[in-house]
């Protein structure tokens, strides 16, 4: 299935076995959810903010200042903020 146009279209009749292509912008009001894993999503949580949720909890955030939070909302002015409640290593960087 393919749609080319500027008017809103309702895809409620598209089954999981079908695909569709979009030419131009695709507007999504809140999130993209996989049909077989509904507690995992890519969200547009606020203006200029993108989040990834796994297991129903936010796992990753990029805010409007391009700050990144993994396991947390990034602190103001912190480009990469990683936190974990687990008693494990937070990061392992290798060459």
* pLDDT tens by residue, 30-87: 999 988 899 999 999 999 999 999 999 999 999 999 999 998 888 888 899 988 877 6
- Write down the pLDDT at residue 12: 67
Instruction: Convert the pLDDT of each residue in 18-27 to its tens digit.
Output: 666 777 777 8
Cα distances from 12 to residues 9, 15, 16, 18, 47, in angstroms, run: 9, 8, 11, 12, 26
């Amino acid at each position: 299935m393919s749609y080319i146009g500027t008017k809103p279209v309702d895809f409620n009749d598209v089954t999981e076995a079908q695909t569709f292509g979009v030419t131009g912008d695709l507007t999504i009001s809140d999130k993209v959810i996989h049909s077989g894993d509904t507690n995992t999503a890519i969200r547009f949580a606020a203006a200029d903010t993108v989040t990834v949720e796994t297991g129903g909890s936010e796992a990753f955030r990029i805010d409007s200042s391009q700050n990144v939070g993994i396991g947390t909302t990034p602190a103001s002015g912190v480009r990469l903020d990683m936190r974990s409640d687990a008693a494990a290593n937070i990061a392992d960087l290798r060459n």
